[in-house]
Every structure is written in structure tokens, then in C-alpha cells.
Amino acid sequence: MRPGLPGILAEEEYAPPFSLLGRFGQPREVARASLWLASEQAPYVTGSVDAGYTNR
């Protein structure tokens, strides 16, 4: 838990169960992925993005 914030988990405590990488994406990583998905380089990509959570 975060010091001074009772009941609020730090990222390193919360992220591992929800991400195969064990962390959340950084804003720059999310932005780059979003730009790529919106580009003409990804015309056949469909479905949802969930960091592989449903593939466990």
C-alpha cells in the first residue's frame, strides 16, 4: 500500500495480476500504440486490446 494513502495500492502491487508484463503501460507507450492502430499500417487489426489478460 502507498504510505499515507490507506486502501490505495501502488502500481507494483496492483498491476501484476492484470498485465502479463507486470506493469501498466506508460503514457508514451499507449500513445504510440494508439497512433499505430489508427494508421494505415494496421488495416486488418480487429478486436480488443487487453495486454493478453484474457489469453491466460
pLDDT at 50: 65
Q: 6 vs 30, which has greater pLDDT?
A: 30
Q: Whole-model pTM?
A: 0.56
- Report pLDDT digits (tens) over 16-47: 777 777 777 889 998 998 899 899 998 888 76
39 vs 19: CA distance, rounded Å: 25
26 vs 16: CA distance, rounded Å: 15
Ordered by start, the domain boundaries in the chain are 11-46
